[in-house]
A and B are shown apart, each in its own frame.
Chain A
């Protein structure tokens, strides 16, 4: 009986349903705990959900590669979801038109510095070239960042880790600095969230408002395109 119970995980994980069910379950559980904790800014629901999901995978002694295989049924939707960001972008076009000059001036400087700051600090602390290449695209949305890291010769899992941490801390720092500087223009906050914190920041911006979300989508998209074009050139210098 116990033996059959244990082999259950093995059998069920042969189909993607288990991975999808676990991910969905952790997503709702993360949101629930987040609400119960009084929505703390320093602990976004995505981190709560990821911790619970990792713990569950470890407890079930489910092979991570196998989980990842099943979860691909969810992650393939990232492509169409990225396309979907074009719709709020279009709906907020009048706001974006009004600010196109500040946006175009800020983008190249901020997107370059987002990579340069991290690489220079890590280099000064003695990180290897492989680690530097994994950190460089830290502010770029995952599907683009994977391409950049492979091109630069970095490690994709290390990059994904850096990407998540960057997204979470960028969200925290935007909220923190918004109060300190102060900046209350939700268009600026949204743009900063998308530029520095990619999809995690954009998800946060949509919580602020539709306008902030549209500016975050814009920041994320422009940073992705700009970094993908510039970084491989700069990195080889």
Chain B
């Protein structure tokens, strides 16, 4: 029962995000707008209720389950890759490797630089 109350809050924020998206034609999904709204609301409110924490933990722990039906689609639409699969595979593998490397190096460099300048202060 308390978990359902938390779920209701999540659904309401999602619907609110969808409404924002549709009314103001924002090219961002309702879920992300709802997530931003949720974070801002909690920052103003200053605490999370137990029911909301329980509902969010429950949903986050099954995130993988929720993306599975989309994932399965890969195997049934694989023929769309035909002819260009090499370009697609190299782009995904090398591109992702480079972008992960960039993110880690950039963050590492900036966080260390920050720590060093703080130590000097």
Question: What residue in chain B is nearest A185 (Cβ atoms)?
Answer: B111
Question: What residue in chain A is nearest B111 (Cβ atoms)?
Answer: A102
Q: Complex: how many Å from CA A221 to CA B77?
A: 27
Q: Mark A1-37, 1 if CB is under 8 A from B, else 0.
A: 0000000000000000001000110110000000000
A74 CB to nearest chain B CB (Å): 6
Give A169-209 interface residues, CB cut-off 8 Å to B.
Answer: 169-170, 173-174, 177-178, 181, 183, 185, 187-189, 191-192, 195-196, 199-200, 202-203, 206
If A131-B87, A161-B74 touch, whether A90 touches B97 (CB-CB below 8 Å) is no
Question: Chain A: interface residue count, which band?
Answer: 35 or more
Contact call B84/A131, Cβ cutoff below 8 A: yes
Question: What residue in chain B is nearest A219 (Cβ atoms)?
Answer: B103
Q: Complex: how many Å from CA A93 to CA B45?
A: 14
Question: What residue in chain B is nearest A142 (Cβ atoms)?
Answer: B70
Binding site secondary structure of chain A: helix
Give B70-88 interface residues, CB cut-off 8 Å to A.
Answer: 70-78, 80-81, 84, 86-88
Question: Chain B: interface residue count, which band?
Answer: 35 or more
If A27-B65, A125-B87, A177-B100 touch, whether A225 touches B108 (CB-CB below 8 Å) is no
A38 CB to nearest chain B CB (Å): 19
Q: Complex: how many Å from CA A90 to CA B43?
A: 7
Contact call A143/B31, Cβ cutoff below 8 A: yes
Contact call A84/B107, Cβ cutoff below 8 A: no
Give the residues in chain A near B119, CB-CB below 8 Å.
Answer: none
B23 at the interface (CB under 8 A from A): no
Contact of B65 among A24, A102, A139 (CB under 8 A): A24
If A84-B10, A158-B81, A195-B103 touch, whether A90 touches B110 (CB-CB below 8 Å) is no
If A23-B65, A89-B35, A203-B63 touch, whether A118 touches B92 (CB-CB below 8 Å) is yes
Q: Complex: how many Å from CA A42 to CA B93?
A: 13
Give the residues in chain B near A217, CB-CB below 8 Å.
Answer: 35
B64 at the interface (CB under 8 A from A): yes
Q: Mark B47-59, 1 if CB is under 8 A from A, else 0.
A: 0100011011001
Contact call A82/B31, Cβ cutoff below 8 A: yes
Contact call A86/B97, Cβ cutoff below 8 A: no
B60 CB to nearest chain A CB (Å): 6
Q: Complex: how many Å from CA A215 to CA B108?
A: 14
A164 at the interface (CB under 8 A from B): yes
Contact call A50/B92, Cβ cutoff below 8 A: no
Give the residues in chain A near B101, CB-CB below 8 Å.
Answer: 173, 177
A125 CB to nearest chain B CB (Å): 4
B91 at the interface (CB under 8 A from A): yes
Contact call A177/B104, Cβ cutoff below 8 A: yes
User: Can you add 18 more A-B contacts, CB < 8 Å, to A114-B96, A192-B103?
Assistant: A53-B72, A74-B66, A82-B31, A82-B34, A99-B111, A117-B99, A122-B91, A126-B87, A139-B96, A144-B28, A144-B29, A177-B104, A199-B67, A200-B64, A206-B60, A206-B61, A213-B60, A229-B27
By a beta-carbon cutoff of 8 Å, the part of chain B in contact with chain A is 7, 10-11, 13-14, 17-18, 27-32, 34-39, 42-43, 48, 52-53, 55-56, 59-78, 80-81, 84, 86-88, 90-108, 110-111, 114
The 9 closest A-B pairs by CB, nearest first: A82-B31, A86-B38, A118-B95, A102-B110, A157-B77, A71-B69, A84-B56, A125-B87, A122-B91
